[in-house]
Amino acid sequence: MVRYFFTRTARIPGFEVEHNQFLRTARTVFVNFKYRGFVPTILGIMARFASKLQLPVMQKFMFQEQGSEYTWLDTGGIVEVQNLDLPEEKQRAATRYEAASEYEFRDVVERLKIPYKKYHFLDYGSGKGAILAAAVAYPFKSVVGVEHSLMLHEVATKNILEMKRRNSVAAEALNSVHGDAATYQLAPEPHIIYLYNSFDANILRAVAERITHDLVGVQEPIYFLYNNPMHHVVLDENDKFQKISSPFGGKWMVYSVSP
């Protein structure tokens, strides 16, 4: 138990960047109070303790089992890379599909305190669109996801139609683009760019170059939100990227970009 809370380690080695478990847990509890409310959070904490003690009770109250607000969207499940409809060399550079926590995302975005209307939001490797669904709740100038798997892009397109049908879109525009993040061209305007460990260091290097090339001349601060930053060294070594915070004990890293 003591090791779990205080070591700087990955919960799922190989799938998660090393981070401080104590700080992550503290922020996760805070975020659940903030967005889910008191009772679901207390039940979630009790369920977590029960699971640590290997008691087969309260499983359905674990935070991951309590699920997302968007139960009406098809964003769940894990799609392993070998099951993505991509050629082998692209599979090798990619990670599997898995939706991120919308609550962590909302907390990180809201702390930026930016004028949403001036900003485009871009998700590199948007999958079925789970984070697009969370991002469109803010009045961004546009919300765009780039996804290279046609199969996942088509699911995202259906989800987007459903978001529009339910009037849950506060952003001016919302799209899923079928394509490779490394070749996606950004409009030269303010951006919040989000990445949930979608690809390897080489693609990240290409993406970082694209961002600094395409956004040159943009006056407003540009932010890069890196969730599960397995290849953060690529950005740490790039003098146009400046790390400004490491939320959730380093399970996220937030950079400001000066193209």
Ligand X SMILES: C[S@@+](CC[C@H](N)C(=O)[O-])C[C@H]1O[C@@H](n2cnc3c(N)ncnc32)[C@H](O)[C@@H]1O
Nearer to ligand X, 52 or 76 (CB): 76
Strand ranges in 69-204 using DSSP code E only, listed in sequence order: 78-79, 97-98, 120-124, 142-147, 174-178, 191-196
Helix (H, G, I), strand (E, B) or coil at 120: strand
If the CB atoms of residues 120 and 148 are measured against ligand X, the closer one turns out to be: 148
CA distance 239 to 12: 30
CB of 10 to ligand X, least distance (A): 15
Q: How far is the CB of 55 from ligand X (least distance, A)?
A: 31
Alpha-carbon dihedral angle through residues 189, 192, 195, 199, given to the nearest 10 degrees: 20
Q: How far is the CB of 193 from ligand X (least distance, A)?
A: 12
Chain contacts with ligand X (rule: CB under 6 A)? 84, 94-95, 97-100, 123, 125-127, 130-131, 146-149, 152, 180-182, 196-199, 203
- CB 50, CB 84: distance < 8 Å: no
State in angstroms the smallest separation of the CB of 127 from ligand X: 3
- Which residue, 13 or 115, has its beta carbon nearer to ligand X? 13
Q: Are 255 and 245 in contact (CB under 8 A)?
A: no
| Residue 50: both structure tokens together | 């029960």
Cα(222)–Cα(225) distance, integer angstroms:
10
Work out how close the CB of 238 gets to ligand X at its nearest, in angstroms, rounded to a whole number. Answer: 18
Tell me whether residue 41 or residue 227 sits nearer to ligand X (CB atom): 227
Nearer to ligand X, 212 or 258 (CB): 212
